[in-house]
Structure 1
Amino acid sequence: MKQHRLAAAVALVGLVLAGCDSPTSEVKLETAAQKASYGIGLNMGRSLAQEGLDDLDSQAVAQGIEDAIGKKEQRLKDEELMEAFAFLQQRSEQRLQSLNEESAKAGKAFLEENGKREGVITTASGLQYEVIKKADGAQPTADDVVTVHYEGKLTDGSVFDSSIERGSPIDLPVGGVIPGWVEGLQLMHVGEKYKLYIPSELAYGEQSPTPAIPANSVLVFDLELIAIKDANAEG
């Protein structure tokens, strides 16, 4: 099944490439269809690169599409194609496994060093946090809905999500978020600001929820607990 998805992905890229007069021709991006076509190619290229297929031969892809559309005799036997797809799939999985292992090692090293810093507290689960601003408001439970402001970063400082940038805090159920947040929020008092350092096993683990968050990533959050919602309030 993975091989079929790979073949489909390659074919879609080929369709985009086949529409160009040459690899260096200037592509017009004026109409909605042209812009959407570019977007499809861009997203597909990013997906293939993420899968470790960033060295595909674009001319060979385009040739395959041209032969198929022109109903020409295919230049390789089906067995050869399946063997090639299997090779690419295996290589992609090996690359991904290697990247995941490197990310896990880097995350562990980061947390080990970070935990030595003054003011950083490490809980039994491995969650690390700093109290940036103290307050004496109420503490939420796992059953509460809270209003928070946050900014999420990777350990290299790159931001992947931020209610602060959007200028709008959000309401969320304490028990309905990643484990690192569930624990961290219940440590906080209303009015406080924390910096959370969340191990991958308390975040998304070996999954990559978005391209902006690689698998096994340690997540760093600036988190402000603004309020605990009144469960009895209307609306």
Structure 2
Amino acid sequence: MKQHRLAAAVALVGLVLAGCDAQTSSVELKTPAQKASYGIGLNMGKSLAQEGMDDLDSKAVAQGIEDAVGKKEQRIKDEELVEAFTALQKRAEERLAKASEEASAAGKKFLEENAKKPGVITTASGLQYEVVKKADGPQPKPTDVVTVHYEGKLTDGKVFDSSVERGSPIDLPVSGVIPGWVEGLQLMHVGEKYKLYIPAELAYGAQSPSPLIPANSVLVFDLELLGIKDPAKADAEAAPAK
């Protein structure tokens, strides 16, 4: 039977569902193997929950595992399984499409309202920004590598990534990031802090890079430009030791 992406996910999470359904209270999580097993189930469960898989029948999952391990005859033909997995995949895709449409509409409305706020500047590309702290340092070029601190949020304020929380700024090439950052960084002077409001088409668009960032999301970044790397020093740091 041709393996389906959703089928593989269901099979993995089934190990945990079966255990939870049968004897959750007696599960031990002491050895590395036991802990890793729990971690696999936990991660797959979270993944399936994000895909809207909230109606799996844990008893049916357990029965499937038992039949496979016991080398018993399948209770459902492969053709029926393929049909079932296809139906679930279609449902998941429909949910994602709906969520994407809703995010796109919400993002458009957010940007329209945000553009009216004092201090918010909208560029020709649609990027919006505010100057939070001014400085008169140099501005980076597309070929530069810069050092920055940042915090990325969704429009509802939920943080999805933060160098500030990690306590460590990062170095990155100006031309090697999302278009909203490429443009925003070149507007900044070293020492400045900006707030960027990045339309989905200047961020990740319909391709979500992480479950924390829904497709077609407007992204909000607090961005501080700490410095521009000296090309000679950057090359020296990158060179392997002899």
| 1:55 shift after superposition | 1.5
- Aligned: 1:227 with 2:227: yes
Aligned residues: 235
| 1:16 shift after superposition | 2.8
Query: How far apart in 2 are the matches of 1:146 and 1:16?
Result: 45
| 1:34 shift after superposition | 1.4
Identity %: 80
Give 1:1-235 correspondences, 5 Å limit: 4-19=4-19, 22=22, 24-233=24-233, 234-235=236-237
Query: How far apart in 1 are the matches of 2:2 and 2:12?
Result: 15
Query: How far apart in 2 are the matches of 1:106 and 1:231?
Result: 42
TM-score (norm 2): 0.91
SS at match of 1:60: helix
* Paired residues of 1:3 and 1:89 also in contact (CA < 8 A): no
Q: How much is the aligned-residue C-alpha RMSD, in angstroms?
A: 1.7
Tell me the alpha carbon deviations over residues 184-235 of structure 1, each in whole angstroms, 9 at most, x when there is no partner: 0000011110000011111111111111111111111111111111113343
SS at match of 2:151: strand
Q: Which residue identity does 1:144 align to in structure 2?
A: D
Unaligned 5+ segments in structure 1 are none
Unaligned 5+ segments in structure 2 are 238-242
| 1:77 shift after superposition | 2.2
SS at match of 1:66: helix
TM-score (norm 1): 0.94
Greater percentage in helix: 2
Q: Structure 1 residues 10 and 214 mapped into 2: Cα distance closer, same or farther (>3 Å)?
A: same
Q: Structure 1 residues 91 and 147 mapped into 2: Cα distance closer, same or farther (>3 Å)?
A: same
Q: Which residue identity does 1:103 align to in structure 2?
A: A
SS at match of 1:22: helix
* Paired residues of 2:195 and 2:221 also in contact (CA < 8 A): yes
| Deviant stretches of 4+, over 4 Å | none
Query: How far apart in 1 are the matches of 2:209 and 2:2?
Result: 19
Q: Which residue identity does 1:33 align to in structure 2?
A: A
Tell me the alpha carbon deviations over residues 55-109 of structure 1, each in whole angstroms, 9 at most, x when there is no partner: 1111111111111212222222222222211111111111111111111111111
